[in-house]
Chain A
């Protein structure tokens, strides 16, 4: 029956699409691991980079990435969650400025990451004169992922049924009490998931940090107000060196980066599953 044949072919074509996609991604990962695993040793984690690929490591970059992650959480979560609370609980949605705020956040989420780099270059590095320091990098990454955190937090807050709020009001709670003692605690799993996913995106970002000036030879451990180079940047630097071994070192550093990201993502998914609530 031609119907069945057509349908079968169609299904095959779809399966093929899916398969090709996964296959290419799988090849990517296998390639990275094949190249990088032999170079993944303690040296990579503990030694600073060098012009000699035999002794080069990625230590300052790894530490800087961890610092950036920590700073990012400290900066993004409060601002993002509070903005979400404002939009969901306090803002009068009919007011023009609040609707503008919502559209604004949506637009910011679609801005290319390099534009945030330009923003950082103009205001933080040159404008404020912060210079090419880790803190500037953290601030720019914060702005980059803020829309994501806001949107995720709003979803989490919105998912909480109104009856919870009404019950609290009925018992005489003030607005802030309702938010802080009922809504927020219930929304934490969603907020945590969103924050961690945003964090993992920020950790993988390279372009904005390039503009903030993270591409130099650093042999010492970074400090918050000092020069720095993050893991994705270190990978980028390794890739530009023509010696073959540096390309393999880049692969090994990628494995480290992916390791950090998978841990974060797994943690986020675990939180989401463990604390999923039905109302």
Chain B
């Protein structure tokens, strides 16, 4: 046979060889920046943990996973962002170990989990101040009331320009961005603002990925969108957050206001749901334990609103109970 046949085989072999050799390198590298509390002390655990769900909570879990990798480098964590609803669907089919959620699990979803015989445990892992943002060049509004928000977002709304909201605003085209229907943020926002979960006008740029909303609002002078607080914090240079008047005056979204309850109605808890049976695996137990132990640090580093002391104690209590149940 000719030499060129050999060359082709060689190329194919080389490709596969290169892949497997680099594969043997292991998942090292990329230390989390200096905040690793323990770069030793890991138990040498291994295994795979699948998390999916909210794009609001996703970055939190991802940040936790990155830090966790420094302690347990052989535990592989994947984090998907299909939306809170999408995450629960996979969770209740048994496809994932952890479900990130920016709203509590719904009754219908609980039923599906029961049918699929997936008992679960709910952990509150952070707080959130759902933030309404506008473009940096928007100099005509600093605060909106809940009623104004409702007039913008309710189903069938024809508000197309800023001057429609308030005649003192300039006649700039209103460009709306926001999460899609699989998003817990969407569920929570529509519930609080429009009065019914899932009720919303449909002619806006909807995406399960909140980053699209960031890009959209920061690029349009008349842009307006909403997402979790961490997305605003990450992009403060390009966005402006509005204060929300829930009836008691304008309150700006902030860590303090989210924790002390004055940022109504858009302050909310963020959750991670775990399969009860996953706690039988040491790596899952270790990961959740790690999250709770380092919650404040993870939240602050990834710009989430950390839990209050009582909330943290409750979460840790729930964790102990779940571990007990698993080993019992």
B30 CB contact (under 8 Å) in A47, A189, A218: A47
Residues of A within 8 A of B81 (CB): 216
Q: Contacts A50-B66, A188-B5, A216-B80; is A221 near B23 (CB within 8 Å)?
A: yes
User: Quick one: which of B152-204 are within 8 Å of A by CB?
Assistant: none
- The answer to whether A242 and B19 touch (CB under 8 A), given A48-B29, A55-B31, A188-B5, is no
Q: Which of A46, A66, A74, A226 counts the most B-chain CB atoms under 10 A from its CB?
A: A66
Check B29 against A188 for contact (C-beta < 8 Å).
no
Closest approach, in angstroms, between the C-beta of A75 and any C-beta of chain B? 11
B119 interface residue per 8 A CB criterion: no
CA distance A229 to B31 in the complex (A): 21
A185 and B1 in contact (CB under 8 A), knowing A54-B33, A66-B15?
A: yes
A57 interface residue, CB < 8 Å from B? yes
A51 at the interface (CB under 8 A from B): yes
| 8 A Cβ contacts from A46-86 to B | 46-48, 50-52, 54-57, 59, 63, 66-67, 69-70, 73-74
Closest chain-A Cβ to B131's Cβ sits at a distance in Å of 14
Query: Nearest residue in A to B26 (C-beta to C-beta)?
Result: A221
Asked if B272 is an interface residue, CB under 8 A from chain A, the answer is no
How far apart are the CA atoms of A216 and B59 in the complex, in Å?
A: 12
Cα separation A157 to B29 with both chains bound (whole Å): 48
Contact of A51 among B4, B26, B302 (CB under 8 A): B302
Asked whether any CB of chain B lies closer than 8 Å to the CB of A22, the reply is no
In the bound complex, CA of A55 to CA of B23 (Å): 20
Name the distance in Å between B204's Cβ and chain A's nearest Cβ: 18
How many residues does chain A have at the interface if contact means C-beta atoms less than 8 Å apart? 42
**Residue A219 contacts which of B7, B16, B31, B65 (CB distance < 8 angstroms)?**
B65
Chain A CB count within 10 A is highest, among B4, B31, B81, for B4
| Nearest CB on B from A90, distance (A) | 22
- List of A residues within 8 angstroms of B1 by Cβ: 185
Return chain B residues, CB-CB under 8 Å to A51.
Answer: 59, 62-63, 66, 302
Residue B235 is within 8 A (CB to CB) of chain A in the complex: yes
Q: How far is the CA of A170 from the CA of B11 in the complex (A)?
A: 36
**B15–A188 touching, CB < 8 Å:** no
B242 at the binding interface (Cβ < 8 Å): no
Q: Contact: B30 with A242, CB < 8 Å?
A: no
Residue ID in chain B nearest A274 by CB atoms? B4
Contact B30 A66 (CB under 8 A): no
A120 interfacial by beta-carbon distance below 8 Å: no
- Asked if B244 is at the interface (CB within 8 A of a chain A CB), the reply is no
B49-65 CB mask vs A (1 if < 8 Å, else 0) is 00010000011001101
- How many Å lie between the Cα of A47 and that of B4 in the bound state? 36
CA distance A42 to B33 in the complex (A): 18
Which B residues touch A47, using CB under 8 A?
29-30
Q: Decide if B19 touches A218 in the complex (CB within 8 Å).
A: no
Could you tell me if B19 and A67 are in contact, using CB atoms closer than 8 angstroms?
Answer: yes
B2 touches A188 (CB 8 A): yes
Scan residues 1-59 of chain B and give those whose CB is less than 8 A from a CB of chain A: 1-2, 4-5, 7-8, 11-12, 15-16, 18-19, 22-23, 25-27, 29-33, 48, 52, 58-59
A-B residue pairs in contact (CB < 8 Å), sample of 19: A46-B29, A48-B30, A50-B30, A50-B32, A51-B63, A52-B33, A54-B33, A63-B23, A66-B15, A70-B12, A195-B8, A216-B52, A216-B80, A219-B78, A221-B22, A241-B211, A242-B211, A243-B234, A275-B2
- Beyond the given pairs A51-B302, A57-B29, A219-B30, 19 more chain A to chain B contacts, judged by CB atoms under 8 angstroms and listed by A's residue number, are A48-B29, A63-B22, A66-B18, A67-B16, A67-B19, A70-B16, A73-B15, A188-B8, A215-B80, A216-B79, A216-B81, A217-B58, A217-B78, A217-B79, A219-B77, A219-B78, A221-B27, A241-B211, A274-B4
Give the top 10 A-B pairs by smallest Cβ distance, nearest first: A220-B27, A242-B214, A47-B30, A70-B16, A66-B19, A220-B76, A70-B15, A216-B80, A217-B79, A47-B29
